[in-house]
Amino acid sequence: MALRLSHAVSDGLRRTLSKTGGILFIGLLIVQIGTQAAVNTAVSSYLPAGLTTQAGLTAGLGLPVSGAGALAIFAALVILSAAFFVIIARTMTQPQDKISTIPVDATRRLGRTTLAMLIGGILISVSVFVGTLFFILPGLFLATSFLFIVFTIAVEDRGVIDGLKRSWGLASGSRLKLFALVVLTTVFGGVIGGIAPLLDYGGIPVASEAIVAVVTAAFLTPYYGILAASYLQLRDERRGVDRRSTEPADASGTAEL
C-alpha cells in the first residue's frame, strides 16, 4: 500500500510537538554547533593562515583545543550522534500516548546498533555520492530507497545489510512520495548553502554559523518526525497492525519485500 503522505505529515508534526521533539531539536543543535566548531578549529590549525584566507574561510565558531583535539572531538561527536539517533528513533516511534517517555529498552544493544548505524550511514553516503555523479537521479533514487535505515536498524534491531534491504522494501511502492521528502531536504540544503556565505559577508561569522545551526535544527526536527511517522505507517500497513495499540509488533515474521 502506498504512503499517505498527508497523514504522515500530520502525525509527524504531532510527534515533533512533544518532549521527544524538543530533545531532538536540542541534540541536533548541539551536533551542528559542535561539528562546525571542531571543523573550523581543525582547519585553522592545520592550514596556513594565508591559505585559509585565499580559500575564503573566515574565523567562525571555534574550540580552545589543538587541531588533533578538534579531530578527536569531531570523531566523538559522530559516534555520540549515531547513538543519540538510535535512542531518539526508538522513542519517536512509540505510540502517541508514550511519545514523551524514553522507553526502558531505548539503550538495548546500544554499542552494536550504533556501530551498525555508522557503517550503514557510510555505505549510504558513498552510494548516494557515486549515484549522484551519474546524472544526479540515481543518487536521489538511492537516498529515497534507504530513507528508513535509521529506523530499520534502531527499531527493528537489524544488521546493516538486512536494514538496507528492509528500508528498500518499505520504500517500494511509495518512492515517488518519499522522493518529494528527499528533494525537500536537497532544496533546503541548497538554500542554506547560499544564505550562509551572505551572512558571512556581514562580518559576523560566529553569529552566521549559529543562525544556520538553529535554522537547520528547526527544519530537521519536524522532518525527522515525518520520517518516523512514514516509517510507522508503511511498517504497520504491511503487518496489518493497529499502531494505536501499546503492544509492540513482532518483526520476526515480516516477509522481505
Residue-range domain boundaries for the chain:
5-239
C-alpha cell at 202: 556581514
Instruction: Note the pLDDT tens digit of each residue in 77-90.
Output: 999 999 999 999 99
Nearest CA to 93 out of 7, 181, 15 is that of 15
Query: Residue 41: helix, strand or coil by DSSP?
Result: helix
Query: 74: which 3 cell numbers?
Result: 569531531
- Number of other CB atoms surrounding residue 224 within 10 Å: 22
Rounded distance between C-alpha atoms, residue 211 and residue 196, angstroms: 9
Give percent of the chain with pLDDT exceeding 90.
57
Q: For residue 62, what pLDDT is reported?
A: 83
Task: Determine the average pLDDT of the residues in 208-216.
Answer: 87
127: Cα within 13 Å, side-chain hemisphere? 16
- pLDDT band (50, 70, 90) for residue 254: very low
CA–CA dist 149, 122 (Å, integer): 12
The per-residue pLDDT of the chain, averaged, comes to 85
The CA angle 51-55-60, to the nearest 5 degrees, is 95
pLDDT at 212 exceeding the cut of 80: yes
pTM score, whole prediction: 0.83
Which of these, 149, 173, 181, lies nearest to 162 by C-alpha position? 149
Q: Are 93 and 232 in contact (CB under 8 A)?
A: yes
**Is residue 132 pLDDT above 70, yes or no?**
yes
How many Å is the Cα radius of gyration of the chain?
Answer: 19
Instruction: Express each pLDDT in 150-183 by its tens digit.
Output: 999 999 999 999 999 999 999 998 999 999 999 9
Inter-residue contact 78 to 143 (CB < 8 Å): no
Residue 114 binned pLDDT confidence (cut-offs 50, 70, 90): very high
For 20, other C-beta atoms within 10 Å of its C-beta total 24
Alpha carbon distance 212, 220 (integer Å): 12
pLDDT digits (tens, 9 = 90+) for 140-150: 899 999 999 99
pLDDT of residue 255: 37
Please provide residue 68's backbone torsions phi and psi, each rounded to the nearest 5 degrees: -65, -40
